[in-house]
Structure 1
Amino acid sequence: MAERRIITLDATPGPLEVDLSATAVLVVDMQNDFGAAGGMFDRAGIDISVIRRAIAPTAKVISAARATGLPVIYVKEEHRPDLSDIGAEGSPHWRMCQRMAVGAEVTAPDSRPSRIHVAGTWNTEILSELTPEDGDIIVTKRRYSAFYDTELEARLRALSIRYLVVTGCTTSICIESTIRDAAFRDYICVLPVDCTGQPARSGSSYSGYEESLKIIERTFGWLSCSERVSNALAGKGAQA
């Protein structure tokens, strides 16, 4: 059993004791389709600037996690080339895939042939600023939650993980869904609020970002920020 490394993280609704020996960082959906020019969101006319703003804080948390020896787990959303996994015709996820032109053939910014939200293409690669390194774990999901029909929970159990630092997009959909599912499984989640983003709805200033943060803080996890989390992961205040 790993030696416990307990730190106290400045968070809301209150300070949280975290065992670094049982902590992993999740990086959810920080991929070209959501956060890069030419990706699915950008092609659909969705403002990706809020997701772009989350890149630097997320990189800071990832760097601190690697320096401390914590597992970094990337979760990316992608579909099979034959689109057999997008759901039954008329289902909610199927309708979303039609609306977002999932599977459409496109040309990537680097001139490679690509397809929207399809595995093995530029569109579903991790953003270049957050490129995984050797030893990082990559998990594929095909719905909003990182836990639904994926290998994530098996990976976490194999690593004896209990605490999750969750980063990524979008706040009110994939992040909230993932944190809810984590809470149902008794994982303790911390969301650095500057490491997540939620674009506003088309033609509106409303995004649901603040509401999701309130829901997570009230019921499903804790909120902090990249600076506080990075300092905590660096072991400041840790006690064996």
Structure 2
Amino acid sequence: MHQETASAAGRLAVVEARPGPVEVDLAAAAVVVVDMQNDFAAKGGGNDLAGIDISVLRAAIAPTARVLAAARRAGVPVVYLRHEYLPDLSDMGPLGSKNQLIHTAAGVGRRVPAPDGSVGRILVRGTWNTEIVPELAPEPGDTVLSKTRFSGFHATGLDAALRRLGVRDLLVTGCTTSVCLESTVRDAMFRDYRPLVLADCTGEIQGEEHHESTLVLVERLFGWVARSADLLRALGG
């Protein structure tokens, strides 16, 4: 199989994937990083404070960092999503809506001490809690978008940003596999994007079975699934 190097925009990188090899057009691709923020994946964040084991999310950081480095070398844009709410929580949804109920139960808006010495608030915009984990920090030229629902396409500028960049192929990473990542992938497919989920660049705190179930659904119905090493090989290292 002929694999193009990452240096020339417009060439195809053929990635070994499930259910079969997929051609990624490097001139029409973007990496999407879903919600890899402190509240979900950092010590001292909301999940960690709630006693949730975040090790599966922490394990996704290193392979994701390698993907981001390779993508930037290839000139592939990187788009970050952050799940976060206004300080008054007015964008969490009407009283009694499912989004409002589950996020209220999860302590969204609660003041907590942040590891950087500031006063944090769980999933509130402008706090340490919703910053991207430092290992994956955005770089100049990257796109960072806020979202208030599980899908990155709901009431956000994601679709417009991707279309402005001329993107068709999405290299999807982030958390959690069966909730925000899956919701975003489904909506991407409905809009005729081609999502490729990198299985080791995501994780599911609700259990491995939910992680695996989403990967099966993606490869059967919504896109393709590969390992980060498969992508890196296709990008020439």
Aligned to 1:56: 62
- CA-CA distance at 1:207 after TM superposition: 4.8
Q: TM-score, normalised by structure 2?
A: 0.94
Q: Count matched residues.
A: 230
Aligned to 1:233: 235
For residue 170 of structure 2, the aligned residue among 164, 168, 178 is 164
Q: Is the CA contact (8 Å cut-off) linking 1:20 and 1:233 kept in structure 2?
A: no
Aligned to 2:3: none
Distance 1:178-1:46 versus aligned 2 partners, 3 A rule: same
- CA-CA distance at 1:233 after TM superposition: 3.2
Aligned to 2:123: 117
Write the deviation string for residues 77-110 of structure 1: whole angstroms up to 9, x where unpaired: 1000010000111111111111110001111012
Distance 1:62-1:152 versus aligned 2 partners, 3 A rule: same
SS at match of 1:87: coil
- CA-CA distance at 1:4 after TM superposition: 2.5
Aligned to 2:135: 129
Aligned to 1:11: 17
Write the deviation string for residues 176-204 of structure 1: whole angstroms up to 9, x where unpaired: 0000000000000101100000013xxxx
1:98 and 2:104 are equivalent in the alignment: yes
Q: Is the CA contact (8 Å cut-off) linking 1:32 and 1:127 kept in structure 2?
A: yes
Q: Which consecutive unaligned segments of at least 5 residues does structure 2 have?
A: 1-7
1:176 and 2:178 are equivalent in the alignment: no
Aligned to 1:219: 221
Aligned mates of 2:208, 2:26 — CA distance in 1:
36
Q: Which consecutive unaligned segments of at least 5 residues does structure 1 have?
A: none
Aligned to 2:53: 47
Aligned mates of 1:28, 1:114 — CA distance in 2:
21
SS at match of 2:205: coil
Q: TM-score, normalised by structure 1?
A: 0.93
1:66 and 2:48 are equivalent in the alignment: no
Aligned mates of 2:98, 2:232 — CA distance in 1:
37
Aligned mates of 1:23, 1:77 — CA distance in 2:
23
RMSD: 1.4
Moved over 4 A (4+): none
Distance 1:206-1:69 versus aligned 2 partners, 3 A rule: closer
Aligned mates of 1:129, 1:9 — CA distance in 2:
25
Q: In the TM superposition, what are the counterparts of 1:130-145 in structure 2 within 5 Å?
A: 130-145=136-151
Write the deviation string for residues 201-239 of structure 1: whole angstroms up to 9, x where unpaired: xxxx565111111111110010001111123234x7xxx
Aligned-pair identity in percent equals 53
Aligned to 1:209: 211
- CA-CA distance at 1:10 after TM superposition: 0.6
- CA-CA distance at 1:8 after TM superposition: 1.1
Q: Is the CA contact (8 Å cut-off) linking 2:16 and 2:226 kept in structure 1?
A: yes
Q: Is the CA contact (8 Å cut-off) linking 2:26 and 2:76 kept in structure 1?
A: yes
Distance 1:212-1:146 versus aligned 2 partners, 3 A rule: same
